[in-house]
Structure 1
């Protein structure tokens, strides 16, 4: 910089202004950019025609996430969370409730066989069904579930079976007895052909 100052002082102001102005050198910068982009286009990457677009990732057709718990509010909130996270990871999600099961729990007096208290507990269950799940995203989703599962909730992740589909519905005992009576009488009557 110290060498340039005497030189600039010797030159007239207009000459110095022209020598160091941006407009004087901008065409050189433009040429550098253009030549770089042209060389990139000319020397592009060679791709053969027979290459496929990528590897095909295997998918699970359907996955059931079954959640069980004795506290209805916590279970319902967690089921909503799982449903929302499935949508966020771009899975097709569907959720449904399974009928609750109840059981009686007895507590006994110490050192006797007489019942002290009887409790009736209901086990609630929710199922979130994920469809067309890529096998690369499922481990991340299961880890997310494992980290955020609240206390008292049991989570099972598996592929659905026919038993799971039947387990979903409440059996109609009255309808079953009427069908049994109809079979005893000879089955349903068939309409006469004309």
Structure 2
């Protein structure tokens, strides 16, 4: 058994070791503070903590991804026999394109085409009814529509299509530009007569 004197000596030895350990820790901190200022130590600790929390992201996330394709000149053609309805629908298509940030280059009207509709009597050549109809056309030309905007835009203008109006979307061609002008029938007749006579003369006239 350990007597009281030995127990007291053992406790004193343990306390002395604890005191020496605390003294060594304090001496180490003192040397660290003397070697580097307190602000530098705090900055070093903060930087180390920030570095541990930082997540490295791949570089390709900051790069621009693939861009959607765009269309060139596209003509939106609306045909109908009711002039008033067709005119209002063409204006609505124009305003809808502008509201969707789609560039509208121009809008124009194509000369009306005349149709003659005849209804014959059953099993006969006798005409019962005859109607003269005018087919009007309005065109809205857009450019730069992306492959993302195009299906949405077409779905919107198709949903608002009035009854009796035919919608057509097509690429712009040179003949579409010529169709907007009213043909000169007299000039065409003169050209036909000139072709019947053998065409224009290629012989230059000599001056007297």
The answer to whether structure 1 residue 117 and structure 2 residue 129 are counterparts is yes
CA distance in 2, matches of 1:72, 1:87: 23
Deviations along 1:105-143, one digit per CA (max 9) or x if unpaired, are 112345532222221000000111111111110000011
Corresponding residue of 1:84: 95
SS of corresponding position for 1:184: coil
Which blocks of at least 5 consecutive residues in structure 2 are unaligned?
1-49
Corresponding residue of 1:145: 157
- RMSD, aligned CA: 3.2
Across the two proteins, how many residue pairs are aligned to each other?
A: 151
CA distance in 1, matches of 2:149, 2:169: 14
The answer to whether structure 1 residue 168 and structure 2 residue 184 are counterparts is no
| Cα deviation, residue 179, structure 1 | 6.7
Structure 2 counterpart of 1:106, from 106, 112, 118: 118
| Cα deviation, residue 56, structure 1 | 1.8
Question: What aligned pairs does 1:2-151 form with structure 2 within 5 A after superposition?
Answer: 43=54, 46=57, 48=59, 51-93=62-104, 94-151=106-163
Question: What aligned pairs does 1:172-187 form with structure 2 within 5 A after superposition?
Answer: 172-176=184-188, 184-186=200-202
TM-score, normalised to structure 1, is 0.65
| Cα deviation, residue 187, structure 1 | 7.7
Describe the shift of the 1:187–1:62 C-alpha distance in structure 2 as closer, same or farther (beyond 3 A): farther
Corresponding residue of 1:13: none
SS of corresponding position for 1:117: strand
Describe the shift of the 1:187–1:171 C-alpha distance in structure 2 as closer, same or farther (beyond 3 A): farther
Which blocks of at least 5 consecutive residues in structure 1 are unaligned?
1-38, 190-194
Q: Of the two, which has the highest radius of gyration?
A: 2
Corresponding residue of 1:155: 167
| Cα deviation, residue 55, structure 1 | 2.4
Describe the shift of the 1:112–1:177 C-alpha distance in structure 2 as closer, same or farther (beyond 3 A): closer
